[in-house]
Amino acid sequence: MKQKRKGNISDMKISKNGNIFSIDNGRVSYIFSVEKDKYLMHRYFGRYINQYAGSAQPFFFDRGFCSNPDPEDKRFSLDTLPQEYPDMNQGDFRSPAYIIQTEDGCRVTRFFYKGYEIIHGKPGLEGLPSVYAEGENEAETLCITLEDECLQAQIRLYYTIFRDFDAICRHVEFINQGKQEIYMERLMSTSMDFPGTDYDLLTLSGSHTSEKNINRRAVSGDSVVIESSRGCSSPQENPCVILMDKESTEYQGQVWGFNYVYSGDFQAVVQTGQYQTVRVQMGMNPQTFGWRLGSGQKFVSPETVMVYSCSGLNGMSQTFHSLYRKRLCRGVYRDKVRPVLLNSWEAFYFDIHEEACLSLAAQAADLGVELFVVDDGWFVKRNTDRAALGDWREDREKFPGGICSLAEKIREMGMGFGIWFEPEMVSPDSDLYRAHPDWIIRSSLYDPVLSRTQYVLDLSNPEVCDFIYQSVADILEKTKASYVKWDMNRHITDLGSAYLKEKCQRELSHRYILGLYSILERLNRNFPEVLFEGCSSGGGRYDAGMLYYMPQTWASDNTDAVCRLKIQYGTSILFPAITMGSHVSDVPNHQVRRITPLSTRFAAAMSGNLGYELDLRKMSEEEKREVKEEIRFYKSIREVIQMGRFYRLKNPQRGNEAAWNFVSEDGRTVIYCYFRILSDPLSLSFPVKLKGLDPDSVYRLEENGLCYGGDELMYAGITSYPEKGDFSSHVYVFQKIK
Ligand code: DGJ
As a three-state string, the secondary structure of 420-485 is: EECCCEECCECHHHHHCHHHECCCCCCCCCCECCEEEECCCCHHHHHHHHHHHHHHHHHHCCCEEE
pLDDT digits (tens, 9 = 90+) for 676-705: 999 988 888 899 999 999 999 999 999 999
Q: Which of 232, 343, 375, 586 to mutate to test the pocket of ligand 1 (most atoms within 8 A of CB)?
A: 375
Residue 4 has pLDDT above 50, yes or no: no
Q: Given a cut of 70, is residue 552 above it in pLDDT?
A: yes
| Residue nearest (by alpha carbon) to ligand 1 atom 1 | 537
Query: In this predicted model, what pLDDT tens digit does every residue of 257-305 receive, in sequence order?
Result: 999 999 999 999 999 999 999 999 999 999 999 999 999 999 999 999 9
From 557, 585, 609, 613, the mutation candidate for ligand 1 (largest count of ligand atoms within 8 A of CB) is 557
- Closest CA relative to residue 728, chosen from 607, 564, 600, 593: 600
- Nearest-CA residue for atom 11 of ligand 1: 376
Of 714, 688, 718, 689, nearest in space to 701 by CA: 718
Which atom of ligand 1 is least distant from the CA of 535?
3
- Predicted pLDDT at 459: 98
DSSP labels for 133-196?
-SSGGGEEEEEEEEEETTTTEEEEEEEEEESSSSEEEEEEEEEE-SSS-EEEEEEEEEEEEEES
Compute the mean pLDDT over every residue in the chain, rounded to the nearest whole number.
96
Rounded Cα–Cα distance for residues 554 and 658 (Å): 21
Amino acid at 93: F
The pLDDT tens digits for 460-518 are: 999 999 999 999 999 999 999 999 999 999 999 999 999 999 999 999 999 999 999 99
Determine the distance separating the centroid of ligand 1 and the alpha carbon of 613, expressed in angstroms: 11
Provide DSSP, 281-305: EEE--TTT--EEE-TT-EEE---EE
Ligand 1: nearest atom to the Cα of 536: 3
Identify which of 355, 343, 362 has the alpha carbon closest to the alpha carbon of residue 418.
Answer: 343
Ligand 1 centroid distance, CA of 537 (Å): 6
- List the residue whose alpha carbon is closest to atom 6 of ligand 1: 345
* 3-class secondary structure, 201: strand
Query: Which of 345, 451, 614 most suits a substitution to test ligand 1, by most atoms within 8 Å of the C-beta?
Result: 345
Task: Tell me the one-letter amino acid at 122.
Answer: K
The pLDDT of residue 11 is: 67
Q: Ligand 1 centroid vs 418 CA: distance in angstroms? A: 14
**219: Cβ–Cβ under 8 A, 6 or more apart, which residues?**
197, 198, 199, 200, 201, 243, 270, 272, 278
Atom of ligand 1 nearest to the CA of 485: 7
Question: Is 50 exceeded by the pLDDT of residue 3?
Answer: no
The predicted model gives 183-204 an average pLDDT of: 97
Pocket test for ligand 1, best of 207, 350, 535, 582 (most atoms within 8 A of CB): 535
627 C-alpha to ligand 1 centroid (Å): 23
Rounded CA-CA distance 530/516 in Å is 18
Q: Give, using CA atoms, the residue closest to atom 3 of ligand 1.
A: 537
pLDDT tens across 570-620, in order? Answer: 999 999 999 999 999 999 999 999 999 999 999 999 999 999 999 999 999
For residue 357, which of 312, 407, 298 has the smallest C-alpha distance? 407
CA distance 718 to 729: 14
> How far, in Å, is the centroid of ligand 1 from the Cα of 580?
15
Running DSSP on this structure, what letter comes out for residue 488?
-
DSSP for 620-677, written as a single string:
-HHHHHHHHHHHHHHHHHHHHHHHSEEEEEE-TTTSSEEEEEEE-TTS-EEEEEEEE-
Catalytic status, residue 487: yes
Dihedral angle, C-alpha 172, 175, 181, 184, nearest 10 °: 0
| 666 is annotated as an active-site residue | no
92 by DSSP, 3-state: which? coil
**Residue 6 pLDDT:** 40
Q: Is beta strand 698-701 parallel, antiparallel or unpaired with respect to 707-709?
A: antiparallel
Pair 372, 358: CB distance under 8 Å: no
| pLDDT of residue 738 exceeding 90 | no
Spatial separation of the C-alpha atoms in residues 738 and 714, rounded to whole Å: 16
Ligand 1 centre to CA of 105 (Å) is 46
**For 466, phi and psi rounded to 5 degrees?**
-60, -40
What is residue 613's DSSP assignment?
Answer: E
Minimal-distance CA residue to ligand 1 atom 9: 537
State the catalytic residue, choosing from 79, 87, 395, 487.
487
Rounded mean pLDDT of 344-373? 98
What are the pocket residues of ligand 1 if the criterion is a CB atom closer than 6 Å to any ligand atom?
345, 375-376, 420, 487, 489, 535, 537-538, 554, 557
* Atom nearest to 385 CA in ligand 1: 11
pLDDT of residue 93 exceeding 80: yes
Q: How far is CA 82 from CA 58, 76, 277, in A?
A: 7, 12, 8
Helix or strand or coil: residue 377?
Answer: coil
Nearest CA to ligand 1 atom 2: 537
Q: How far apart are CA 269 and CA 375, in angstroms?
A: 38
Ligand 1 geometric centre to CA of 645 (Å): 30
H/E stretch holding 268: strand 266-272
Q: Residues 87, 557, 560, 586: which is the catalytic one?
A: 557
Residue identifier of the C-alpha nearest atom 10 of ligand 1: 376
Look up residue 534 and give its amino acid.
G
∠ CA(281), CA(282), CA(288), 5° rounding?
120
Q: How far does the centroid of ligand 1 lie from the alpha carbon of residue 314, in Å?
A: 31
Look at ligand 1, atom 5, and give the residue with the nearest C-alpha: 557
Distance from Cα 131 to the centre of ligand 1, integer Å: 28
Q: What is the pLDDT of residues 111-133, one digit of tens each?
A: 999 999 999 999 999 999 999 99
Which of 207, 209, 344, 376 has most ligand 1 atoms within 8 Å of CB, for mutation? 376
Ligand 1 centre to CA of 345 (Å) is 7
The dihedrals phi and psi of 287, each to the nearest 5 degrees, come to -65, -35
**Substitution site in 420, 425, 552, 589 for ligand 1 pocket (most atoms within 8 Å of beta carbon):** 420
CB-neighbour burial class of residue 663 (10 A; exposed 0-12, middle 13-18, buried 19+): buried
Q: Report the nearest atom of ligand 1 relative to the CA of 537.
A: 3
* Pairwise CA distance, residues 434 & 438, whole Å: 10
Cα-to-centroid distance, 582 and ligand 1 (Å): 13
DSSP SS3 for 259: strand
Give the integer Cα–Cα distance in Å for 344 and 399: 14
CA of 351 to the centre of ligand 1 (A): 14
What is the C-alpha separation between 654 and 677, in angstroms, rounded?
A: 11
